[in-house]
């Protein structure tokens, strides 16, 4: 059923294209503090097909864009709310669902990656998911921009009384989003539930089962095909250190799953690779359908180079 739906959507969608999708991972996060409207806007300007908000929830039940359930690494929370630190699941930190949206509005975003510019730290706010969707609507001109939300820790939030899957679907409904979207998650249970609630394309995020077995996903692909339309795969699953294909992409496609790979970073290149574009071209040759990158401009350039390659 899911496969039939996906084929129909692909035939109808303006984003339908032979070219792999450039997914702006946390926005243009290689350049600006991640998960800010400014980082998403830059990604769109650089030509990304999709922007990727990771979603967590506030105490007053509003979805906001952050990569983690905690705030210390990507904001100035320690300076604004020093007394609100606590321990959760063994981590001492400030947790998003302890704060109301009004309180989070007082925070400003910071660059969490060492070596990247901190020039824009303490300038930009944490956006709500609703604001991200408004931004997409506002910048949509001739070009359709897709959105690729990830539900972070839905199980933990459920236990704390927040149904983030329902919040996500409600927000999409309010904004009239019915296409040019993928919903992703690391938790199979949340996706199985979503599979019963929506026909929107679902993406199961996977990583290698173990360090000794990088080619095997932590959830079997055949199981994923029961409830998801695609797989968001850590790139090490796809190719070994010598550059040989693991067969992952072919196996996923034989089950009807598309493959989006993560995460490509110009400033974290594998040994013997000289540029972000060079790395991406190796993966594009494997037949991936899209990829998450912190540097959307490099991603766009790599897809253009790939599409011109005569041996494709």
Tell me which residues are annotated as active site: 25, 67
Rank residues 67 and 97 by Cβ distance to ligand G3P and give the closer one. 67
Which one of the spans 38-46, 101-109, 147-155, 236-244 is the region binding Ca ion (CB under 5 A)?
Answer: 147-155
Q: How far is the CB of 52 from ligand G3P (least distance, A)?
A: 6
**Which of 38, 54, 93, 187 is in the footprint of Ca ion by CB under 5 A?**
54
The span from the CA of 10 to the CA of 17, in Å, is 8
Minimum distance of ligand G3P from residue 312's CB (angstroms): 26
Of 25 and 59, the one with the shorter C-beta distance to ligand G3P is 25
205 binds, among ligand G3P, Ca ion, none (CB under 5 to 8 A by kind): ligand G3P
Closest CB to Ca ion belongs to which residue? 150
Q: Closer to ligand G3P at the Cβ: 67 or 162?
A: 67
When CB distances are held under 5 to 8 angstroms depending on the partner's kind, the choice from Ca ion, ligand G3P, none that residue 262 binds is ligand G3P
Could you say which of ligand G3P, Ca ion, none residue 263 binds, taking C-beta under 5 to 8 angstroms by partner kind? Answer: ligand G3P
CB-closest chain residue to ligand G3P: 262
Shortest distance (Å) from residue 97 CB to Ca ion: 18
Site residues (CB under 6 A) for ligand G3P?
25, 54, 67, 150, 184, 205, 232, 262-263, 292
Bridge-based pairing of strands 91-93 and 86-88 is antiparallel
* Residue 217 touches which of Ca ion, ligand G3P, none (Cβ within 5-8 Å per kind): none
The least CB distance from residue 220 to Ca ion, in Å, is 22
- Kindly state the smallest distance separating residue 310's Cβ from ligand G3P, in Å: 32
Q: How far is CA 226 from CA 3, 39, 105, 196, in A?
A: 10, 35, 40, 12
Residue placing its CB nearer to ligand G3P in the complex, 70 or 292: 292
Residue 150 binds to Ca ion (criterion: CB under 5 A): yes
Nearer to Ca ion, 54 or 294 (CB): 54
- Using the contact rule CB under 5 A, the part of the chain among 53-61, 101-109, 138-146, 269-277 near Ca ion is 53-61
CA–CA gap between residue 140 and residue 135 (Å, rounded): 8
Report, in Å, the least distance between residue 110 CB and ligand G3P. Answer: 17
Question: Secondary structure of the chain in the HEC alphabet?
Answer: CHHHHHHHHHHHCCCCCCCCEEEEECCCCCCCCCCCHHHHHHHHHCCCCEEECEEEECCCCCEEECCCCECCCCECHHHHCHHHCEEECCEEECEHHHCCHHHHCCCCECCCCCCCCCCCCCCCCCCEHHHHHHHHHHHCCCCCCEECCEECCHHHHHHCCCCHHHHHHHHHHHCCCCCCECEEECCHHHHHHHHHHCCCCEEEEECEEECCEEEEECCCHHHHCCCCCEEEEEHHHCECCCCCECCHHHHHHHCCCEEEEEEECCCCCCCCCCCHHHHHHHHHCCCCCEEEECCHHHHHHHHHHHHHCCCC
Which residues on neighbouring strands pair with residue 25, listed in sequence order?
A: 52
Nearer to ligand G3P, 218 or 263 (CB): 263
Q: Contact residues for Ca ion (CB under 5 A)? A: 54, 150
């Amino acid at each position: 059923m899911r496969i039939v739906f996906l084929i129909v959507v692909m035939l109808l969608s303006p984003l339908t294209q032979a070219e792999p999708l450039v997914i702006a991972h946390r926005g243009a996060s290689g350049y600006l503090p991640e998960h800010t409207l400014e980082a998403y806007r830059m990604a769109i300007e650089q030509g990304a097909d999709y922007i990727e908000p990771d979603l967590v929830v506030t105490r007053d039940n509003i979805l906001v864009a952050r990569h983690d359930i905690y705030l210390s690494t990507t904001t100035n929370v320690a300076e604004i709310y020093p007394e609100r630190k606590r321990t959760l699941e063994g981590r001492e930190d400030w947790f998003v669902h302890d704060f109301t949206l009004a309180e989070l509005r007082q925070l400003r975003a910071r660059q969490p990656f060492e070596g990247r510019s901190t020039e824009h730290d303490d300038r930009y706010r944490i956006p709500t998911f609703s604001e991200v969707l408004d931004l997409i609507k506002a910048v949509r001109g001739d070009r359709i921009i897709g959105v690729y939300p990830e539900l972070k820790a839905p199980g933990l939030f459920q236990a704390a009384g927040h149904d983030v899957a329902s919040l996500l679907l409600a927000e999409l409904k309010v904004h009239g989003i019915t296409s040019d979207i993928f919903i992703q998650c690391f938790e199979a249970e949340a996706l199985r539930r979503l599979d019963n609630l929506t026909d929107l394309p679902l993406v199961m995020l996977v990583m290698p089962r173990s360090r000794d077995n990088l080619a095997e996903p932590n959830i079997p692909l055949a199981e994923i095909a029961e409830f998801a339309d695609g797989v968001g795969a850590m790139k090490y699953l796809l190719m070994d250190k010598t550059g040989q294909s693991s067969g992952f992409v072919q196996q996923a496609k034989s089950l009807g799953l598309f493959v989006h790979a993560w995460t490509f970073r110009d400033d974290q290149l594998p040994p013997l690779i000289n540029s972000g574009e060079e790395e991406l071209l190796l993966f594009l040759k494997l037949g991936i359908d899209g990829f998450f990158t912190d540097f959307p401009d490099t991603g766009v350039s790599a897809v253009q180079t790939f599409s011109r390659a005569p041996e494709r």
